Amino acid sequence: MSDLAPNARVDSSFAVKSRSLASFRNKPGQYLNLTLADRTGEIPARVWDNAERIAECCAPGSVVRVRGRAEEYQGKLQLIVEAAEEVAPGDVDPADYLPCSRRDPLEMMGEVDAAIAAVTDPHLRSLLAAFFGDTAFRNRFAHAAGAKTLHHAFVSGLLEHTVSVMRVLWTLTESHPELDRDLLTAAALLHDVGKIEELTTGVTIDYTDTGRLLGHTVLTDRMVRERLASLPGFPAPLADTLMHMLLSHHGQKEYGAPIVPMTAEACALHYADNLDAHVQYFSQVVAEGAGSGNRWSDYQRLFDRYIYLGDAGASAPPPGAADE
């Protein structure tokens, strides 16, 4: 998809991210709006003819073979779909349709293991081992996305974000040695574990029913408390301090935090989490704008601002895009 140009013919397979039928304004009938994606990005698509029939084979989360053409509309590319057919699930490799972290998951998991081994508090180390010593959890965590559409929205994005937050917190302890490094390490590694239950990764990233109903903060709280219950003798004050950090890491109640940070370590976790998420998002916008010829991004509603692209110029893959 990254090499599409206006008027190019298209005959390729894409994952369907969204689908909606809409009525024509000035004639009877409906047309079909689609969002199609592969691992290099996503693109809007329109079906003007036979929209109702084609919609039947374009369920969100499916893979379809599309034939049509690319055209430019209001300065952006879209696909005009002339025909589409669903690809059999057995012929689908999810890796073809989802962007991946450019960092090696095995290398990042090695960093996690080294961090756990360096934790001196035996109770926190046991809790971390209860999670990351579990092969099933470990595999899910290593490949989970960090979000559906915002920061780290790619395979192994959760792992990449987690390691980055941990690094930021460790750097902070160099200026603030009074902070509890073991507690910061444990909180960094656990603060988003609920995302493995909140999000599902097939050929697209989407929310599970449980994820929509509860959200990852509640799911994280549930998962950590279940592990704590299996560790007799875990000090209650330490458990409360850690759980406070996890519950407050979004910083403000309007951003989904049940409680605001009330310890120095909780404050540090919140800002480290926010910093990594924001910087990754800004970097992604700049990379996606590379080669556009524009010095500013489109308006970013998430931050209520435009983002300066500068001379991003030639080309650079978006953060998280797999190398070709």
Domains and CATH numbers, the chain: 9-89 (2.40.50.140), 98-282 (1.10.3210)
Tokens of 289: 């704008």
The band of 322, judged by pLDDT with boundaries at 50, 70 and 90, is very low
Among candidate residues 287, 291, 286, the one with its CA nearest the CA of residue 313: 291
CA 4 to CA 39: how far, in whole Å?
14
Average pLDDT over residues 134-146: 95
What are the CA-CA distances from residue 92 to residues 31, 81, 272 (Å)? Answer: 27, 20, 37
Among candidate residues 238, 237, 239, 216, the one with its CA nearest the CA of residue 227: 239
pLDDT at 66: 94
CA 233 to CA 137: how far, in whole Å?
23
User: DSSP assignment of 145-211, as one string?
Assistant: -S-SSSTT-SBTHHHHHHHHHHHHHHHHHHH-TTS-HHHHHHHHHHTTTTHHHHEEESSSEEE-HHH
Strands 9-23 and 63-73: antiparallel
Helix (H/G/I), strand (E/B), else coil: 239 = helix
Helix (H/G/I), strand (E/B), else coil: 45 = strand
What are the CA-CA distances from residue 306 to residues 74, 76, 186, 280 (Å)? Answer: 18, 17, 36, 16
User: Among all chains, which residue has been given the structure tokens 């990379």?
Assistant: 287
Structure confidence by residue, pLDDT tens digits, 43-91: 999 999 999 999 999 999 899 999 999 998 887 889 999 999 999 888 8
Of 126-140, 195-209, 221-235, the least confident:
195-209
29 Ramachandran zone, left/alpha/beta (phi>0; psi -120 to 50): left
Q: State CA 141 to chain mean position distance.
A: 12
Report yes or no: 75 and 125 within 8 Å, Cβ to Cβ. no
Cα angle 43-47-51, degrees, rounded to a multiple of 5 = 135
Structure confidence by residue, pLDDT tens digits, 12-26: 999 999 999 999 988
The band of 253, judged by pLDDT with boundaries at 50, 70 and 90, is confident
Tokens of 25: 């304004």
Specify which residues 232 forms β-bridges with: none
The band of 4, judged by pLDDT with boundaries at 50, 70 and 90, is confident
CA 30 to CA 23: how far, in whole Å?
4
pLDDT at 2: 62
Residue 311's contacts (CB-CB under 8 Å, 6 or more residues apart) are: 295
Other beta carbons within 10 angstroms of residue 36's beta carbon come to: 28
